[in-house]
Structure 1
Amino acid sequence: MPGVIARILRRTPDTRYAELADMRSGFNSLAAKVQTVLDKDPYGGNIFLFRGKRGDLLKAFYWCDGGLCLFAKRLEKGRFAWPRSDSGVVALTTAQLSLLLEGFDWRQPLDAARPRTAL
């Protein structure tokens, strides 16, 4: 089911990401990384994204309805388009998150072709 993760995650107000993470990490170690590296509250409702070293695996970690959620997505081909940042933190819009999870390079959107006539 394409886009299922994006639909589930869309409910939260903000998405943040950190640099590379050990993809063996689970709830406790990712929560600790959110607190120490990002200096954020892992129970605040934000989505935190972590990418593996090869770039084809991504984990989304967030607090929802009284519990922690952890989702993973691995691309069969290609790598996730990962933003660069001096601070290591980037806020993504819902649209950017959806494109990222679908494997598109959301950093370089294409201009929509403008129709020449209405008919």
Structure 2
Amino acid sequence: MIPLPAGCRVWIATGHTDMRRGMQGLALQVQEQLQRDPHAGDLYIFRGRRGDLAKILWHDGLGLSLYAKRLDRGKFIWPSASAGAVSISAAQMAYMLEGIDWRNPQSTWRPASAG
């Protein structure tokens, strides 16, 4: 898990991204298409066309980091907007990276009775 500092925002880049891009290409996309500063300390999450690969770009104050995760089964739940960025919480990001629908997470088990 990425250690998020207090006040760090998480942004999902809507639409799909060319997953052949590396740190510099994704940072340029943040700057030009999303109109945000890639070096401000926020996390930016990108998803490929197939939906099973996500990349996270983060500048920690010392340099850029690029994290990648590919799901063995299923796809990452992604906003339907075609351009721009959507802000989510760190908890929603954790759900998303586990393949859980971060928009409406459901409990998988509830006790039937107290005793």
The bucket for the TM-score relative to the shorter chain is: 0.7 to 0.9
How many residues are paired up?
Answer: 113
Q: Secondary structure of the residue that 2:85 maps to in structure 1?
A: coil
Q: Does 1:72 align with 2:68?
A: yes
The structure whose residues are more often helix, as a share, is 1
Is 1:62 the counterpart of 2:97? The answer is: no
- How much does 1:89 deviate? 1.2
TM-score, normalised with respect to structure 2 = 0.85
Q: Kindly, what percent of the aligned residue pairs are identical?
A: 42
Unaligned runs of 5+ in 1: 1-6
Q: Does 1:88 align with 2:84?
A: yes
Instruction: State the TM-score, normalizing by the size of structure 1.
Output: 0.83
1:10 maps to amino acid: L
Deviates more, 1:19-28 or 1:106-115: 106-115
Root-mean-square deviation over aligned CA pairs: 2.1
* 1:11 Cα deviation after fit: 2.8
Unpaired runs of 5+ residues, structure 2, are none
CA distance in 2: counterparts of 1:61 and 1:30, whole angstroms: 7
Task: Summarize the Cα distance change of 1:86–1:26 in structure 2 as closer, same or farther, 3 Å threshold.
Answer: closer
Structure 1 CA distance, aligned partners of 2:75 and 2:107? Answer: 23
